[in-house]
Chains A and B, each alone.
Chain A
Amino acid sequence: MKAAIWAGVNEVAVEDVPEPQLLNSHDVILKISKTVTCGSDLHLIGGYIPAMRAGDVLGHEFTGEVVEVGSGVQKVKVGDRVVVPSFVACGKCWYCAQELYSLCDNGNPDPGITEGLWGQSPGGCFGYSHAMGGDAGSHAEYMRVPYADVGCFLVPDGVSDTRALFASDSVTTGWTGAHLGGTKPGDVVAVWGAGAVGQMAARAAMLLGAEQVVVIDRLPERLAQVRRHIGAEAVDYSTTDVVAELRERTGGRGPDVCIEAVGMEAHSTGVQGAFDQVKQQLRLQTDRPSAVREAIRACRKGGSVFVLGVFAGMVDKFPLGAMMNKGLTVRGAQQHGQRYVPEILRHMESGVLTTEHLATHTMPLTQAAEGYRIFKEKADGCVRTVFEPGS
């Protein structure tokens, strides 16, 4: 079958690879209908997360049709049209019982790598390196999904594949940040990053009752999407002092909840941006945390900062003093998708949550290298490139 693979630093290729097999009784095989680029893939492709082996299949946000089921699968049936969260979760361990699915004890068969790095291992993630379990990704014609009864969600008839696709990761990640960040009715929420995850965090905050939501980015086409499709306020950080702007817009208080949806390759302006670039390239820090710093600076006293962007290791100049003295709650997580997908699909079906505008570019999987190029360069107004393996 055809699959888009990581071939080396900044190299994506499409190759013929073996088809996946059922390996456990709880597995299913999906025929992938749509699979989409994610900003966190760029960390892998660029070599910032050095646990990719040449030939690994990329992709972790997808929809598909079930074509084969393992002997132990009870709910999922051949022919089901499903969306699957990016994280592999067993549904049986204590973390899954707490609905903290991305922390599943039994989702990563190679826990020694992340335990060594972080002291504990989160669950596995499709197409996200051997540190995160080594499961092949979704940029392929077919894909294996373990723990299928826990991870596969039937897409309602009234929801298109393109809309449901983003329930796999963008919306679920955004929802995780808005919900676990503690968004309450009446809150002011600020979101750093107007990519798909940031936009969906903003929309989730609105659906959770936030009264005012502000999204921060520098790309005009993304800020326009925020205004038009999300219904939130938009701030261009390249022309605006973000902390001053947020203070002015919030009566001097600062946002109640600040959600960082940028990650380890954050862009920033001025001396700070140059400092982080140099330190990262010299491997004196692994991650660039400028949006996290700004969120901590901007947040109201006693407020909440949620780190949604993917970070892998160390950062420098972390404002621990501001965090402590302002009494902030700082929290982070990968997505606990299995908890939120049913609610998200209901919102998608009712029409209050739409995602089609994120799919600015759609192309056959055979054009994956070009699809990632325009996505990385943010060329032609690209927000996300969707691949269709069947076309």
Chain B
Amino acid sequence: MSGPLQQVLSRAASLGGAALGKLQHTRIPGVGQASTTEPAEVSAARWRAVTVYTDDLAGPFPELDALGSDLEVRMQAAPGGRGTELAARFHGSPTTDQIGELRAALRRTKQLAEVGEVLRVDPQPHGTRKATPQGAALEGAAARAPKEGVL
């Protein structure tokens, strides 16, 4: 593969991941988080939470512990027998990457508690991957997807 093409594809993959990151802050009505109107620092300070379908949720949570001592964790019973709300937030001003890691860690923690293991998807059988900017952008978005979303 030629150098310039490699650079284009690498750039496209990076842009794909970044575009996904931007989507949740997009304010087009009906797309993404249209309600995300608050300043980024206010949003960054919010609790991120998953509801785990068990009444007996108990730590330790290695996935969350791995994020360091700046992380504050709380649990409370969800209403209506929906299980236990597991929430976490960083003290101070976390970076976008830290929040992404927290989303992924919360999702893995929920799966470990509910199913016992984290669902894997790679490697999957696939045919020829054409080297296109669109394809590279999609791969970048898919790679970043566990760390993105509204959580």
A residues with a Cβ closer than 8 A to B are 1, 3, 5, 7-8, 13, 15-21, 23-26, 50-57, 72, 88, 90, 92-94, 97, 105-107, 109-113, 115-117, 119-121, 130, 133-136, 140, 142, 144, 146-147, 314
Chain A residues positioned under 8 Å from B129 (CB to CB): 53-55
22 contacts between A and B (CB under 8 A): A3-B125, A3-B127, A13-B127, A15-B127, A17-B126, A17-B127, A23-B122, A54-B132, A57-B126, A57-B127, A94-B53, A94-B82, A105-B110, A106-B115, A110-B121, A116-B23, A116-B24, A116-B32, A117-B23, A119-B32, A130-B141, A136-B126
In the complex, chain B residues 51-74 whose Cβ is within 8 Å of any chain A Cβ: 51, 53
Flag if A130 contacts B125 (CB, 8 Å): no
**In the assembly, what is the distance between CA of A93 and CA of B30, in Å?**
27
Flag if B124 contacts A134 (CB, 8 Å): yes
In the complex, chain B residues 78-137 whose Cβ is within 8 Å of any chain A Cβ: 82-83, 103, 107, 110-111, 114-117, 119-130, 132, 134-135
* Apart from A106-B111, A117-B31, 16 more pairs, CB < 8 Å: A1-B125, A51-B141, A54-B132, A57-B124, A57-B125, A57-B126, A90-B115, A92-B53, A92-B115, A107-B119, A112-B20, A112-B103, A120-B150, A130-B138, A135-B124, A136-B125
Flag if A112 contacts B125 (CB, 8 Å): no
Flag if B145 contacts A24 (CB, 8 Å): no
Chain A residues positioned under 8 Å from B127 (CB to CB): 3, 5, 7, 13, 15-17, 54-57
Q: Residue of B at shortest CB range from A25?
A: B117
**In the assembly, what is the distance between CA of A322 and CA of B123, in Å?**
48
Q: How far apart are A88's CB and chain B's nearest CB, in angstroms?
A: 8
Chain B residues positioned under 8 Å from A53 (CB to CB): 126, 129, 135, 138-139, 142
Given contacts A119-B150, A146-B119, contact A20 B141 (CB under 8 A): no
**In the assembly, what is the distance between CA of A46 and CA of B132, in Å?**
17
Q: Residue of A at shortest CB range from B22?
A: A116
**In the assembly, what is the distance between CA of A106 and CA of B103, in Å?**
14
In the complex, chain B residues 12-38 whose Cβ is within 8 Å of any chain A Cβ: 20, 23-24, 30-33
Partner of B144, one of A7, A90, A112: A112
Chain A residues positioned under 8 Å from B139 (CB to CB): 53
Chain A residues positioned under 8 Å from B116 (CB to CB): 25, 72
**In the assembly, what is the distance between CA of A271 and CA of B24, in Å?**
36
- Which of B127, B134, B150 has most chain A Cβ within 10 Å? B127
Chain A residues positioned under 8 Å from B111 (CB to CB): 90, 106
Flag if A24 contacts B23 (CB, 8 Å): no
- Which of B116, B126, B128, B146 has most chain A Cβ within 10 Å? B126
Q: Residue of A at shortest CB range from B131?
A: A54
Chain B residues positioned under 8 Å from A105 (CB to CB): 110, 114
Q: Residue of B at shortest CB range from A21?
A: B123
**In the assembly, what is the distance between CA of A110 and CA of B83, in Å?**
23
- Which of A53, A110, A112 has most chain B Cβ within 10 Å? A112
Flag if A119 contacts B33 (CB, 8 Å): yes
**In the assembly, what is the distance between CA of A15 and CA of B129, in Å?**
11
**In the assembly, what is the distance between CA of A26 and CA of B119, in Å?**
9
Q: How far apart are B62's CB and chain A's nearest CB, in angstroms?
A: 18
Partner of A115, one of B24, B83, B121, B135: B24
Considering the complex of A and B, which 9 residue pairs feature the smallest CB-CB distances, nearest first?
Answer: A112-B148, A115-B149, A110-B145, A112-B145, A116-B23, A15-B127, A5-B127, A112-B149, A55-B127
**In the assembly, what is the distance between CA of A25 and CA of B111, in Å?**
14
Chain B residues positioned under 8 Å from A92 (CB to CB): 53, 114-115
Given contacts A17-B127, A94-B82, A120-B150, contact A133 B121 (CB under 8 A): yes
Partner of B149, one of A72, A116, A133, A314: A116
Flag if B138 contacts A20 (CB, 8 Å): no
**In the assembly, what is the distance between CA of A101 and CA of B147, in Å?**
23
Flag if B150 contacts A115 (CB, 8 Å): yes
Flag if B148 contacts A26 (CB, 8 Å): no
**In the assembly, what is the distance between CA of A379 and CA of B130, in Å?**
30
Chain B residues positioned under 8 Å from A97 (CB to CB): 53
**B151 beta carbon closer than 8 Å to chain A:** yes
Chain B residues positioned under 8 Å from A50 (CB to CB): 134, 138
Q: Residue of B at shortest CB range from A92?
A: B114
**In the assembly, what is the distance between CA of A25 and CA of B114, in Å?**
14
**In the assembly, what is the distance between CA of A135 and CA of B132, in Å?**
21
Chain A residues positioned under 8 Å from B53 (CB to CB): 92-94, 97
Q: Residue of B at shortest CB range from A51?
A: B138
Partner of A109, one of B83, B119, B132, B144: B119
Flag if A134 contacts B128 (CB, 8 Å): no
**In the assembly, what is the distance between CA of A20 and CA of B114, in Å?**
25
Given contacts A51-B138, A93-B53, A110-B142, contact A24 B148 (CB under 8 A): no
